[in-house]
Every structure is written in structure tokens, then in C-alpha cells.
Amino acid sequence: MNKMNQKELLDTLQHQFGFDEFREGQYDIIQDIFCGEDVLGILPTGTGKSLCYQLPAFSFEGVTVVISPLVSLMIDQVKKLKAKGFKRVTAINSLLDHNQRDNIFAHLNEYKLIYCSPEMLQNPFFFKHLKTLTISLFVVDEAHCISQWGHEFRTDYLKLKDSIKKLGNPTVLALSATATPQVQDDIQYFLDKPNMKKRIYYMDRPNIAFSIEHVSNWQEKVNRITDILQHKPVPTMIYFSSRKWCEKVSEILKKELGSLRIAYYHGGMEADDRLLIQQQFMNHQLDVICCTSAFGMGVDKQDIRLVIHFHLPAQMESFIQEAGRAGRDGKESVSLVLYTDGDEQIPLRLIEQELPTEKQTENIFQDINKCKTSSLPLKKVKEELIFKNELTETQWNFLQYQFEKQQMVHNEQFHLDSKLLEDTFQQILFLLRERTTIKIKKLYEFIRWVKTPGCRRKDLYQTFQKGYQSPVYYCCDHCDFSFSKWNPPMNQIEEKVEGWEVELKRIFHQEAIM
Amino acid sequence: MYSAILLKCITKLQNERSPSSIYHLLKGKRSSQTIQDAKAYGLSPFFGIYKTLSKKQFQNSLSILQKENLITWLDDDQLMITEAGRISLQTDMEESPELDWLDGFNVHHIAPQFWLRLLLWIQTGSNLLKDESHFIPVHDQWESVDWVRQFYRNKKKDLEGHFTNLYQELYSLLKLHRSFHADIVVSRLTGYKKIGLSKQQIAEKWKLPIEDVEMYIQSSIHFIVNKVCQNQSEFPALLAFIPEKLKQLPLTDSAAKTYYWLKQGYSIEHIAKKRRLKINTIQDHLIEITYVDSSFSIDSYVAKEDKEMINRTIDELNTKRLKVIKDHLPDSVSYFMIRMVMAKNYQ
Ligand SMILES: Nc1ncnc2c1ncn2[C@@H]1O[C@H](COP(=O)(O)OP(=O)(O)OP(=O)(O)O)[C@@H](O)[C@H]1O
Ligand SMILES: [Mg+2]
Ligand SMILES: [Zn+2]
């Protein structure tokens, strides 16, 4: 493939995407891709990683496949591209019904850019269709999911290596915002791309000040938030670790802060309502959003000034991502963590739930053992095993991957050899303990940061990179920051209470006609 | 409003049917049993008015009604309305004319589609008139998205004129709503730089249970659909949003197929064989057809004398319970025959 000259690339950027210039990293990565090089790109959150494959995708002859871990993220990207006038994009996901899927599969060759989940890539029917196409570029978004050390770990990411080979070894681009050197190694190892070109950029955000406040209970957290927002009514996100807390605190804040427009957002809401809330926030109809980690990915609001963590995030990486929602416009912003002794209990419980427990695993093996046949179709027992042992989808996927890896499941059939079963069982227990240890270790890394006596900024970034850029506004509460000094641009709240007649007129642009 | 609907269902079912039949009714389950319940007990306006209702939510609302002493449980898993419940229902019926707007049986199969088209089109037009083509659609239900795309092609020449007409039609219909009701409906709309409220937000803003929000929106949709269909020349702009399906009988696809073969002269047995379905299933289809198509004759399935005998028994016993009726009839009369006769009576 040919290198495009700078002028040509800039033209494409301006005309097709409507941006004036490339952001840091974009030009280099795109140029590498046009040269056919495999690239590992680490760029900070919200700086425009997507463009690194979207621009080449529409210039290439063949198709670009993007592996993305979250359905909502994919759908969001597709909608944005369509809104920009790119029609030949699609997301193959579990929300599509049979007809829609068949329809897309039948016209797969008409798309230039296909988003899909790693699970979907394992669907033999889909893969068969995909193999008939010429794949020019294979993108692994949120590539840290491939590593046990990444903040999310998805077993289906481990199967990508084989899929890439079967698709005729297209150029590979792996992207992530938060990958320590260790995770970067894992990405190369598991994709089997030892010679990948690494494009690693500074991930620190010089316009965000870091502040941590130690309080004695949750009511104090609420009081603190009320106090800050009363004086500084800025666009704010507040992260919680459970849906219940998210709703509860949002309720209280609404009462305490009557003049602010507050809503909550979490994964338990209907999809349409979630979209509305997200759009209201983008459209300045909401000032404060109380959310779980389900919000954030794909949310691209430029003027968020304050991100508060009401609970501890699971680890540094998720914190950096979530706090990184602040100040995408480069203006002065703050990340605040509210901490109470004992706060680590909630993430510890969540860690337990991510993978099956040892007890669940044991029960499952007992259940399988009870089927006294030597071979058993996976389909036949899967639902029951999931139901009986109350497994989540992630938990089951983990198990199934291990079954397959140990050859206990082959071609959708269980092979019930007692030696094999025992080995697999031991292997799974080992992995469970390892993963749990890793996660607990990562949580304590974060807690260590919360308690650090030194500069928060320096401490936060040191595991990821050497050094950091000097802050453009404030650094952290240990160096120079306090809320009383902070003078962010404030929200103009102009909520007029008007009846439906006025509102209807406005929607239909009939204001002139009175 | 929602609790009034539940109370009304409980009253009308005269504890002959289990509470879960109310759930199926509200969800609009296409089974001949549910259709029969809707028709025989006079609950057809509520058929399929709450398609997103979850079992848990439903059970939850029953416990609330019980806690407020509006209903009580009888021992055999049956519900009964209390005196307080009766009074509450009475007041609600007098105060909420919207209850009478619901027309589930006749429009439940087109109401959602109509509404999705309308919502998306209003958002589209409102943005395009301001030259804003970068907006994220409020929903991505395929059929409506396709439809709106097509519709835009036809309207783009005079988008402004069309939008003014649409506005006027909607305005005149909303004017017939109570003002808070119109507020709720309009707050749900998305337009240029104005994103609609979620149901949760509406519930908070108007201090209503979220189920009531759903019911107010549904009643408004049913009202609009019916007004538009009954006065087609007055509402040409809105008429375009009514899906074609309205003109067809509200049958499930499978029952519609059975009906097609029946009209070609095939017997029940033959159709069952042809479609590889159980005879029972085909009989269910026939009952469904009898309920929705008044021109359908049951004479070839139930002899005249049998029909009279069944009707007499129903009158004497004054019940709609199949088992009780069957027990009082000779063995030669099947359940299928009784259900056909009942379906015919409640057409
Ligand atoms: N060159 C550019 N100039 C201006 N804006 C840009 C440019 N490139 C991308 N953007 C915008 O930046 C925003 C963030 O882009 P994108 O979603 O790709 O970020 P990301 O790095 O993938 O973030 P995340 O870590 O959240 O996944 C988008 O609104 C995008 O349109
Ligand atoms: Mg991204
Ligand atoms: Zn500092």
C-alpha cells in the first residue's frame, strides 16, 4: 500500500471528517497503516483513536473489521459515523434479531467498516461470510481486554489471533488508552505480533487537577458534593459502583440542589431511556449525571468540568478512563475522589462476582460428572448449568473458554474423561485464584494512591510512563489545588417552565406564527 | 391510572381467572385464551397496552394494591377487589377520561409503530429544518428508520409546509387532552436542540408512578390513532403515519395463514397436516379468527342444536368458566365447540 502524502491526508480529514488538523498520534498511526505496518497505538482517552482506523477504512479497497467489547460503544460509533454521512458501516451485535442479521450478512460486501464483538467473531456463520471478503485492516479496540492485567479481561479476545490468520493476515491495529508496559507485552503476545510498531503517547491530562478527600461516612460525601455544586454548578459526572447507590444519591442531590438538573444513568435502564439521558447531558439539558461505569465509554462531551468518584474504582486504569471524561475541551477541570475507610469492601465484592466462584465451579463439575455418558452436546446442558448455578454471561464465557482450551469441550461436545475433567478443574481453580489475586492487588494499588503523601499526578502516572507534562492549571490537592481557588467556566442554567403549546411550537419551528 | 386499570380487570374477571391472565392481557399475548379473556370479560380495551411490562413489575403493583387495601387475596390464588378498591376505581374512572381512550384490541398492533415513526420523523424534520443533519436518532427500530427515510424523500420538496400541517393536526388533537397530559406527551418528543424526557424523568416531574406515565402515553397514542382513522380527511398529515396493518384484521401471522387456507376450503385436519401443526393449534387459530372477524361463521364447526344447548347452559350457570360449563354438557360437546360459541357471542 502506498504512503499518502500529508496534503492528501489532511484533505481527507478536512473534507470527510470536518476536522481542521490531526491530533497527536493520529497522523503517524494512519501513515503506518497505509504502509501496511501492524501498529499498537496507546493514546489517552478521548483523543480520537477511532479516527486512526476510520480514515483508512474509507480509503481502502477492502473491508475494515473492528473488534469492540461493548455493544453500546459500537452502536454509538456507527450512529456517529452515519450522522457524518458515512453510510457503509454496520455493527453486528447480539441486539439484532434474526431478520436484521440475515439481512446484514447477505449484504456484508457492501460495507466498508464492520464493527463486531469478539464473541460474534466466533460465530461460524458470520465468520464464513466474513471470510469471503477482502479484509484490509483488522482493528482491536480496547485491546487491553486481551490481558489478565488489563482492567477488563475478556476471554474471547484471546481467540483473535487465530481469526486474524484465518482472515488472511490483514494489517492489524490494536488500540488502548490505558495499557501498562506489561499489558502492551501481553497484547503483542496474544495477537502473535512480536514486530508490531509501537506508537505510545503520553496519557496524562495536564488540564485535570486531582483531588482526594477523606471523609467519615457516605452522608458526608453527599454533603461535600452538595457544597461544591452549590458554589460551582458545572457539568459534572458522579461515578458509583452500584445501580442502587446511583439512584439513591441522585434522589438526594435532586432535593438538595433544586436549581440543578440531575439524572441518573445505569445499565438497568431501558435502552431508549438511556439514550435520552445521554443525549440530554450532551445537549446541556442536564448538569449532573449520577452513573455507574456503564456510562462513559462512548460518551464524548467536551465540557465536563468535574468527575467525582463516590466509590472506589476497581483500579488505576478504570480511574484514569473515567476521570479522563473531564475537560476534553482542554479547559480547567477537576477529578475528585471521595474516600471513606472500608470503601474497598464494595470493589472486593465486585471482584468476587466477575468470575465464577470456586464453589460454583465445583458444583458445575459435579453436575457435568453426573451425566454418565462419555460425550454430551454442549448446547444441551449449557442453559441449565447457567441457570442452576446462577452464572452471569461473563462467568459462563470464562468457563467455556477454559473447557475448550483444555479440550474438555471440542466441536461443541463435552468429552467426559475423568482425568481430563480433574485436570481442567484444577486448571480453572488455579486461574480463578490468580485472577482474583491480580485484581485485589490492583485495587490496593489504587488505595495506595489514594493515601499517597506525595504529588498525586506524579504518582498516578508513574506505572504507565516516564514523567508527565506539567499541569496547565492546577496540579493536585497536595501541591496547589483547593476548590476555593478553582474558577471554572460556570453553567448558564436557563430552564424556563413553559407549557406544551410553547414547546410544541418550538419543536416544529412555528414560533413566528402566533 | 394504571392501578385503576388493574382494579377494573380484577373486578371484571370476577375471580374466575388467575392474576397472571391480567398480565398476559396487558402484554397482549397472542393466545386464544388471552383473546378470549379480553373479549368474554369486556377487557378488550386493555389488550396489549403495556408490552414492556415485566412479571416482576406486575407482581409488585399487585402487592402495592394489596398494601393499600384495595384488593385482597382469596385462598385459591384469586384476587378480589375490596370496598375501598371499588371506591378508588369509581373516582379514577370519573376523573380520568383517558381510561376510555384506550383501545388495545383494535390498535395495539399498530400503536407502537405509529408512535416510533412519528417520534423519529419529528426529530428528523425539526433538525433538518435548521440544517442540522448530524443528530443521533432517538431510536433505531429498523422498520421505522426505513420508513422515515422513504418518507423524507417524498416530503423534502416542501418540508416546511408539511411540518406546519403536521404541527396543526397534532396541536388540535393535543388540545383535546387535559393540559398536564399534553405536557407529558410533548415532553417526550425530541426535536432540534431539545431531547425528550425519559419515562423515569416524566414520572419524577409529574410525581406519577412510572406505569402511569406509560399508560398516559399509550392512551394518547390510541386516541390520536383513532381520531385520525375516523376523520381521515381532517388529518391527512398524520394519516400517513398509520401503518398499513390497521386495515388488516388484528390476527397473529400464524392465525392469518390458517385463515387463508380455510378460505381456500381446506379442513382443520388438512391444514394441520399441511402446516405441520397440532390440530389444537389450528383450533386456537379458529377461535382467534372468530373473535376478530364478525363475518366468520361457526356453523360448520358447531351444529345449531349444540350451539343452542351450550348457550342455554352458559346462561343458566352464569359463568365463563369452561370446565364448569363442560361438566354440565354431554360428552359429545367438546371444549373447542364451547369456546367457538363463546367467541361468537363476544365478537
Ligand atoms: N483530529 C481531530 N480534530 C478534532 N476532533 C477530533 C479529531 N479526531 C477525533 N476527534 C473527536 O474526538 C472525539 C473522541 O474521539 P474517539 O471516540 O475516537 O476517542 P477515543 O480515543 O476512542 O476515546 P475513548 O478512550 O473514550 O475510546 C470525537 O468526538 C471525535 O470526533
Ligand atoms: Mg475509543
Ligand atoms: Zn501535584
C-alpha cell recorded at residue A406? 483444555
Alpha-helical segments (H) within A84-159: 98-106, 118-121, 124-131
Strand-pairing partners, residue B78, are B74
Range of the domain at A333: 208-346+471-513
Residues B118, B90 within the same domain: no
| Interchain contact, A508 vs B122, CB within 8 Å | yes
In a domain, A452, yes or no: no
A480 within domain boundaries: yes
Q: What is the pLDDT of residue A181?
A: 85
Question: Can you give the pLDDT at residue B247?
Answer: 59
Contact assignment for A503 to B195 by CB distance below 8 Å: no
Q: What is the pLDDT of residue A285?
A: 92
Same domain, A13 and A128: yes
The average confidence (pLDDT) of chain A is 88
Closest CA to B121 of A260, A396, A507: A507
Evaluate: CB of A127 within 6 angstroms of ligand 1. Answer: no
Interface check A349 vs B, CB under 8 A: no
What is the mean predicted confidence (pLDDT) over A384-391?
86
- Domain co-membership, B288 together with B219: no
- ipTM exceeding 0.85? no
CB-CB neighbours of B58 under 10 Å: 18
Distance (Å) of CA A287 to CA A39, A253, B21, B245: 39, 12, 44, 43
- The answer to whether A153 and A147 are in contact (CB under 8 A) is yes
Q: Shortest Cα distance from B233 to chain A (angstroms)?
A: 22
Question: Within a domain: residue A39?
Answer: yes
Distance from CA of A222 to the nearest CA of B (A): 21
**CB-based contact B298:B283 (threshold 8 Å):** no
Asked if residue B177 and residue B141 are part of one domain, the reply reads yes
* Residue A21 and residue A158 in one domain: yes
Least CB–CB distance from B129: residue in A276, A280, A509: A509
Same domain, yes or no: B125 and B163: yes
> Residue B17: which CATH number?
1.10.10.10
* Residue A137 pLDDT exceeds 80: yes
Q: Chain A partners of B164 at a C-beta cutoff of 8 Å?
A: 508, 510, 513
**Chain A residue with minimum CA distance to B162:** A508
Predicted confidence at residue A152, as pLDDT, reads 65
HEC states along A317-341? HHHHHHHCCCCCCCCCEEEEEEECC
State whether A195 and A215 are in the same domain.
Answer: no
Q: What is the pLDDT of residues A414-442, one digit of tens each?
A: 887 888 888 899 999 998 888 889 889 98
Residues A341, A364 within the same domain = no
Q: How many Cβ atoms sit within 10 Å of the Cβ of residue A392? A: 13
Examine the domain organization and report whether A63 and A183 are in the same domain.
yes
> Both A479 and A362 in a single domain?
no
pLDDT over 90 (residue A335): yes
Residue B192 C-alpha, separation from nearest chain A C-alpha, in angstroms: 6
Q: What is the pLDDT of residue A376?
A: 77
Query: Using CA positions, which residue lies closest to atom 10 of ligand 1?
Result: A48
Q: What is the CATH number of the domain that holds A69?
A: 3.40.50.300
Which chain B residue has the Cα nearest residue A103? B142
Buried b (16+ CB within 10 A) or exposed e, B169-201: bbbebbeebeeebbbbbbbbbbbbebbbbbbbb
Q: Are residues B36 and B127 both part of a single domain?
A: no
CB contact under 8 Å between A507 and B164, yes or no, is no
Confirm whether A58 is domain-assigned.
yes
Q: What is the pLDDT of residue A495?
A: 64
Chain A residue numbers touching B134 (CB-CB < 8 A): 83-84
Nearest CA among A116, A128, A113 for reference residue A167:
A128
Q: Is the dihedral of CA A120, A124, A126, A131 positive or negative?
A: positive
Let me know if residue A290 belongs to a domain.
yes
Domain count, chain A: 3
Tell me how far the alpha carbon of residue A444 lies from the centroid of ligand 3, in angstroms: 21
Considering the domain architecture, whether residues B260 and B239 belong to the same structural domain is answered as no
Of all protein residues, the one whose alpha carbon is nearest to atom 3 of ligand 1 is A19
State residue A151's pLDDT score.
60
Considering the domain boundaries, does residue B102 fall inside one? no
Same domain, B142 and B242: yes
Q: Establish if B30 belongs to a structural domain.
A: yes
Side chain identity at residue B228, one-letter code: V
Domain containing B320 — which CATH number? 1.10.10
Considering only CB atoms, which chain A residues are within 8 Å of B253? none
pLDDT higher than 90, residue A464: no
Are A104 and A90 in contact, with CB atoms under 8 Å apart? yes
pLDDT for res A296: 64
Report the C-alpha gap between A91 and A77 in whole angstroms: 9
**In a shared domain, residues B264 and B279:** yes
Q: Which residue of A has its CA nearest to B139?
A: A272
The reply to whether B101 falls in a domain is: no
**Residue B120 is part of which domain span?**
111-247
Residue of B162, B201, B205, B213 to mutate when probing chain A, most A C-beta within 10 A: B201
Cross-strand pairs, A199 = A41
Does a structural domain hold residue A88? yes
Task: Please write the tens of the pLDDT for every residue from A298-321.
Answer: 577 889 999 999 999 988 888 998
Counting ligand 1 atoms within 8 A of each CB, the residue from A51, A52, A55 with the most, and so the one to mutate, is A51
Same domain assignment for residues B213 and B120: yes
Burial class (CB in 10 A: 0-12, 13-18, 19+), A383: exposed
Residue carrying C-alpha cell 420523523: B121
**In this predicted structure, what is the pLDDT of residue B121?**
96
Average pLDDT over residues A133-140: 95
Is A62's C-beta closer than 6 angstroms to any atom of ligand 1? Answer: no
Do B228 and B140 lie in one domain? The reply is: yes
Domain assignment present for A459:
no
Residue A249 has a pLDDT of 97
Q: Where does a domain end: B201, B229, B247? A: B247
In a domain, B104, yes or no: no
- Give dist(CA B212, CA A391) in Å, integer: 34
Tell me which residue of A318, A41, A321, A377 sits closest to A176, measured CA to CA.
Answer: A41
pTM of the entire structure? 0.79
Per-residue pLDDT of chain B (347 residues; tens, 9 = 90+): 999 999 999 998 877 788 889 999 999 887 778 888 888 888 999 999 999 899 999 999 999 999 999 998 887 778 889 999 999 999 999 999 999 999 998 888 889 999 999 999 999 999 999 988 778 888 878 788 889 989 999 998 899 999 999 999 999 999 999 999 999 999 999 999 999 999 999 999 999 999 999 999 999 999 999 999 999 899 999 999 998 765 567 777 788 888 888 888 888 998 999 888 899 899 988 988 888 887 888 888 888 888 899 989 988 888 888 888 899 888 888 999 998 888 888 76
End-to-end CA distance of chain A: 61
Q: Among A172, A200, A228, give the residue marking a domain's end.
A: A200
> What pLDDT was estimated at residue B296?
85
Determine the pLDDT at residue A287. Answer: 94
Tell me the C-alpha to C-alpha distance, in Å, between residue B121 and each of A35, A241, B145. 44, 37, 9
Atom nearest to A13 CA in ligand 1: 1
Read off φ and ψ for residue A360, nearest 5 degrees.
-60, -45
Does residue B63 lie within any of the structural domains? yes
**Whole-angstrom distance, CA of residue A468 vs CA of residue B326:** 84
Q: Tell me whether residue A464 is in a domain.
A: no
A66, β-bridge pairs: A115, A139
Task: Name residue A121's beta-bridge partners.
Answer: none
CB of A64 within 6 A of ligand 1: the answer is no
The count of other CB atoms within 10 Å of the CB of residue A430 is 10
Residues A48 and A150 grouped into a single domain: yes
Q: Are residues A365 and A419 in the same domain?
A: yes
Nearest to B183 among A276, A500, A508 (CB): A500
Name the A residues in 453-512 with CB < 8 Å from any B CB: 499-501, 503-510
Which of A400, A425, A442 is at the close of a domain?
A: A442
DSSP string, B161-227: HHHHHHHHHHHHHHTTS-HHHHHHHHHT--BTTBPPPPHHHHHHHTT--HHHHHHHHHHHHHHHHHH
Residues A320 and A338 in one domain: yes
CA A347 to chain centre: 18
Please judge whether B187 and A85 are an interchain contact, meaning their C-beta atoms are less than 8 angstroms apart: no
A508 vs A474: CA distance, rounded Å: 45
Structural domain ending residue among the three candidates B95, B130, B157: B95
Distance CA(A407)–CA(A424), nearest Å, equals: 9
Nearest Cα to Cα of residue A96 among A113, A118, A117, A127? A117
pLDDT, tens digit (0-9, with 9 covering 90-100), for A87-134: 899 998 766 777 778 888 888 889 999 999 888 898 888 999 999 999
**Are A408 and A322 in a shared domain?**
no
Checking if the pLDDT of A150 tops 70, the result is: no
B234 and B281 belong to one structural domain? no
Residues A233, A131, single domain; the answer is: no
> Which of these three, B95, B122, B138, is where a domain ends?
B95
How close B328 gets to chain A, by Cα (Å)? 44
Burial class (CB in 10 A: 0-12, 13-18, 19+), A479: middle
For the beta carbon of residue B305, count every other beta carbon within 10 angstroms.
Answer: 8
Q: pLDDT confidence of A297, banded at 50, 70, 90?
A: low
Give yes or no: residues A407 and A490 share one domain.
no
Contact list, B136 vs chain A (CB under 8 Å): 79-80, 83, 275, 279
Q: Is residue B32 classed exposed, middle or buried when 0-12, 13-18 and 19+ CB atoms within 10 A define those classes? A: buried
What total of structural domains would you count in chain B?
3
Residue B166 sits in the same domain as residue B225: yes
| Rounded mean pLDDT, A161-186 | 91
On whether the CB atoms of residues B254 and B286 are closer than 8 A, the answer is: no
For residue B46, tell me if it sits in a domain: yes
For the cut 80, the answer to whether the pLDDT of residue A365 exceeds it is: yes
A498 vs chain B: nearest CA distance in angstroms?
9
Instruction: Catalogue the E-assigned strands of A417-514.
Output: none
Q: Which of A65-69, A229-233, A396-400, B99-103 is predicted least confidently?
A: A396-400
| A492: confidence class by pLDDT, cuts 50, 70, 90 | low
Task: Among A138, A167, A200, give the residue marking a domain's end.
Answer: A200
